[in-house]
Chain A
Amino acid sequence: MRLSLFASLLVTLPVSVAAFGQSTAPVKAAANVLRTSDGKPDLSGIWQAFGVTLFGETGELRPGEGTASSWGPPVGPAPYRPELIAKVKELGADNRKDPNVQCKMAGVPRITGSVVPMEVIQTPKKIAFLYESGHAFRIVALDGKPHPADLDPSYMGHSTGRWDGDTLLVDVVGFNNITWLPGPGHFHSESLHVVERYMLQPDNTIHYEATMEDPEVLTKPWLYRLILRHPPREERIMESDCHDNNQDLDHIVPSH
Chain B
Amino acid sequence: MKLGICTLACGIWFSSTAIAHHSFAAEYDAEKPASIAGTVTKIDWQNPHVYLTVEAKDETGKTSIMTVEGHPPNILRRTGWTRDSIKVGDSVSISGWASKDGSQRMAGREVTWPDGKKLFVGPPSH
Chain B contacts to A: CB under 8 angstroms: 2-23, 25-27, 44, 46-49, 51, 69, 71-80, 99-101, 103, 105, 119-121, 123-124
Contacts and interface: CB of A to CB of B under 8 A. Distances in A.
Given A113-B18, A115-B18, A26 B3 contact: yes
A103 B77 contact: no
A115 B6 CA distance: 19
A33 interface: no
Nearest to B13: A74
B15 A66 contact: yes
8 contacts: A57-B79, A71-B3, A103-B48, A113-B18, A114-B19, A115-B19, A116-B74, A245-B48
B3 A132 contact: no
Contact of A252 (B4, B27, B121): B27
A60 B120 contact: yes
Contact of A68 (B10, B71, B100): B10
A187 interface: no
Given A74-B13, A115-B18, A52 B79 contact: yes
Given A61-B123, A113-B14, A182-B17, 4 more contacts: A73-B10, A227-B5, A240-B47, A247-B51
A198 B2 CA distance: 17
Contact of A246 (B20, B48, B73, B77): B48
Contact of B5 (A66, A68, A75, A114): A68
Range, interface on chain A: 35 or more
Nearest to B29: A253
Nearest to A70: B6
A68 B18 CA distance: 11
B79 A59 contact: yes
A95 B26 contact: yes
Contact of B22 (A58, A61, A252, A255): A252
Contacts, number: 160
Interface string A60-82: 11001011111111110000000
Contacts of B124: 61
B94 to A, nearest CB: 14
Contacts of A252: 22, 26-27, 101
Given A60-B120, A240-B74, A247-B51, A74 B19 contact: no
Q: Top 7 A-B pairs ranked by shortest CB distance?
A: A59-B79, A95-B26, A68-B11, A59-B120, A50-B18, A182-B17, A53-B78
A75 B12 CA distance: 12
A24 B105 CA distance: 48
A95 B23 contact: yes
A207 interface: yes
B78 A111 contact: no
Nearest to B120: A59
A186 to B, nearest CB: 9
A2 interface: no
Contacts of B5: 68, 70-71, 227
Contacts of A253: 26-27, 100-101
A67 B48 contact: no
Contacts of B7: 68
Contacts of B16: 183-184
B75 to A, nearest CB: 6
Contacts of B13: 70, 74-75
Contact of A247 (B15, B25, B49, B71): B49
